[in-house]
Amino acid sequence: MDERPEELKAELKADSKADLKARLRLPHRLMRISWRDLAVVALPTLLIVVAAFAVAAHFIRPAPPSHIVMTSGTDGSTFRTLAERYRKVLKRNGITLEILPSLGSVDNLKRLSDPKQHVDVGFVQGGLPVELRSDDLVSLGSMFYAPLFVLYQSPAPIERLSQLAGKRLAIGREGSGGEALALALLKGNGIEPGGATKLLSLPDDQALQAISQHRVDAVFLAGDSARPDEIRRLLHTAGVRLFEFGQIDAYLRRFRYLSKIDLPMGALDLGQNLPAHPMALIAPTVELVAHDDLHPALSDLLIEAAQEVHGHGTLLQHAGEFPSSVERDFPISDDAARYYKSGKSFVYRILPFWLASLADRMLVLVPVIVVAIPTLRFLPAMYGWRVRRRIYRRYALLMALERESQNLHGAEQARAILERLEEIEAAVINLKLPPRFADEAYVLRQHIDFVRARLANFAATQDKATATA
């Protein structure tokens, strides 16, 4: 028996398998993709996803820095002592606070306003000259009072600061917040440098010594200079009196950064009953000032530290009075206003700071995911709809031809429709269709064959009838 036919069958079978494998290769499959339909569907989808990520990227904040710089005060000053307490609180949350010593509020404000200094936060007393500050500074709140004590030597009480004109006045250390406050108040009373009044910028110890030795007629004590023990000692000196601001309402209206403080009778010395009656003092508040781009998480953390450091009661403030969101010399930052109104956000209340910071940034991606996932899942369906639409368009043409074939009047008309039918089939064959849509294309071709058979039968019948006639 000749085995050549069997060998031929085997070769044909092998060739058929090789051809099938070739057709299933990636390049061949890529040729069957309708890139136009894919582009029409994919590009808008991609734009939506990219836009969603762009919006998220705009709102995603960077991680808060683990190191910040605070400008404080001289060694041993109240500012420096408070800064050290802030450092301990922040350390519990993994934040390192670098403390820079300074000469006081004026020096702190200059550093904060100078972009070359790279200082993040600092204590600044209210009432400093506006020209010292930059526009990007905001307040995280008022932290404590810096009461002003004016002690003077006179046989009789004086009622107005203007009565100190022509005298020798110690107004505080040069460049200090106390000096700036004293100059502002004296100017409001018509007393300015260069006039008949001798204004002496003396350090604290020299100013206290000068009034004790009667080398000055009055001394302005604020901040660290206004220590209760020193004031008590001075009031025990013969002829030294504590000035009472009888015009305090006028001062508060004119100088918005000032507050009224009630000094109770006997507060400075119960045994000697000093003062002998309740007195009204004025005090600027010390604000924690930062740049307006301070990370919101750090803003929250600093205010939380401030609540722990400044929230207790003292001789001149009630417990819980500070920190305060009342706007004084600097605008309250938006993040600080939000914290005072609502407190820490939910994630920062239940998670450690570092983890809450990460979760807070990741939450911004949730809306993006909500948009992106359904959009991407919708992409295959849209692509399938575009491909099927091209098949359905041929069905519409086929149905129109079939309706037209219901009113045929001769074989020539039938053959004309057959030619149009061939065009439809050729278009179907040349469609770029992924393999999963092949069944729909072949069903369409079966329907084309059905219509073709009817038309061919009609044409043959007409030809036969014409030949017989």
Please check whether residue 294 is in contact with residue 333, taking contact to mean a CB–CB distance below 8 angstroms. Answer: yes
Residue ending a domain, choose from 363, 378, 408 = 363
> Average pLDDT, whole number, for the chain?
82
Residues 277 and 317 in one domain: yes
Determine, yes or no, domain membership for 13: no
Name the residue type at position 379: L
Q: Look up the pTM and report it.
A: 0.63
Is pLDDT at 54 greater than 70 in this prediction?
Answer: no
Comparing C-alpha atoms, which of 84, 121, 83, 40 is closest to residue 299? Answer: 121
Determine, yes or no, domain membership for 291: yes
Q: Is 96 helix (H, G, I), strand (E, B) or coil?
A: strand
Query: pLDDT: is 444 or 49 the higher one?
Result: 444
Determine, yes or no, domain membership for 133: no
Please check whether residue 387 is in contact with residue 434, taking contact to mean a CB–CB distance below 8 angstroms. Answer: yes
Residue ending a domain, choose from 334, 363, 392 = 363
Residues 343 and 217 in one domain: yes
DSSP 339-394: HHHH-S-HHHHHS-HHHHHHHHHHHTHHHHHHHHHHHHHHHHHHHHHHHHHHHHHH
Of 223-227, 357-361, 373-377, the range with the lowest mean pLDDT is 357-361
Residues 371 and 296 in one domain: no
Of 34-38, 277-281, 459-463, the range with the lowest mean pLDDT is 34-38
Q: If you count them, how many residues does the chain have?
A: 469
Is pLDDT at 407 greater than 60 in this prediction?
Answer: yes
CA 344 to CA 299: how far, in whole Å? 10
Residues 354 and 385 in one domain: no
Residues 372 and 407 in one domain: yes
**Which pLDDT score is estimated for 158?**
93
Is pLDDT at 42 greater than 70 in this prediction?
Answer: no
Determine, yes or no, domain membership for 98: no
Summarised one tens digit per residue, pLDDT across range 274-283 is 889 999 899 9
CB 244: neighbour CB atoms within 10 A?
Answer: 18
**Which pLDDT score is estimated for 309?**
93
User: Residues with Cβ < 8 Å from 11, sequence gap 6 or more?
Assistant: none
Of 19-33, 258-272, 312-326, 350-364, the range with the lowest mean pLDDT is 19-33
How sure is the predictor about 395, in pLDDT bands with cuts at 50, 70 and 90? confident
Residues 252 and 371 in one domain: no
Residues 311 and 428 in one domain: no
Determine, yes or no, domain membership for 318: yes
Please check whether residue 356 is in contact with residue 63, taking contact to mean a CB–CB distance below 8 angstroms. Answer: no
Of 49-63, 214-228, 235-249, 273-287, the range with the lowest mean pLDDT is 49-63
Number of domains in the chain: 2
Residues 381 and 436 in one domain: yes
**Which pLDDT score is estimated for 26?**
46
Determine, yes or no, domain membership for 85: no
Comparing C-alpha atoms, which of 48, 51, 106 is closest to residue 73? Answer: 106
Q: Domain containing 171 — which CATH number?
A: 3.40.190.10
How sure is the predictor about 170, in pLDDT bands with cuts at 50, 70 and 90? very high
Determine, yes or no, domain membership for 240: yes
Q: What is the domain range of residue 176?
A: 142-363
Q: Please name every residue paired with 281 in a beta bridge, in sequence order, or none if there are none.
A: 261
Residues 177 and 286 in one domain: yes
Per-residue CA distances from 82 to 259, 316, 408 (Å): 21, 17, 102
In the DSSP assignment, the letter for residue 274 is B
How sure is the predictor about 24, in pLDDT bands with cuts at 50, 70 and 90? very low
DSSP 129-180: -GGG--TTEEEEEEEEE--EEEEEE-SS----GGGGTTSEEE--STTSHHHH
Residues 356 and 450 in one domain: no
Query: pLDDT: is 313 or 120 the higher one?
Result: 120
Mean pLDDT of 266-277: 89
Is pLDDT at 403 greater than 90 in this prediction?
Answer: no
Determine, yes or no, domain membership for 22: no
Mean pLDDT of 69-77: 89
Residue ending a domain, choose from 325, 341, 363 = 363
Tokens standing for residue 215: 């080398």
Summarised one tens digit per residue, pLDDT across range 172-225 is 888 788 888 999 999 999 999 988 999 999 887 888 889 988 899 999 998 777
Residues 319 and 209 in one domain: yes
Please check whether residue 315 is in contact with residue 267, taking contact to mean a CB–CB distance below 8 angstroms. Answer: yes
Is pLDDT at 257 greater than 60 in this prediction?
Answer: yes
User: Residues with Cβ < 8 Å from 415, sequence gap 6 or more?
Assistant: 455, 459
CA 428 to CA 390: how far, in whole Å? 9
Mean pLDDT of 382-410: 82
Residues 237 and 306 in one domain: yes
Summarised one tens digit per residue, pLDDT across range 305-336 is 999 999 888 877 888 889 998 888 899 998 89
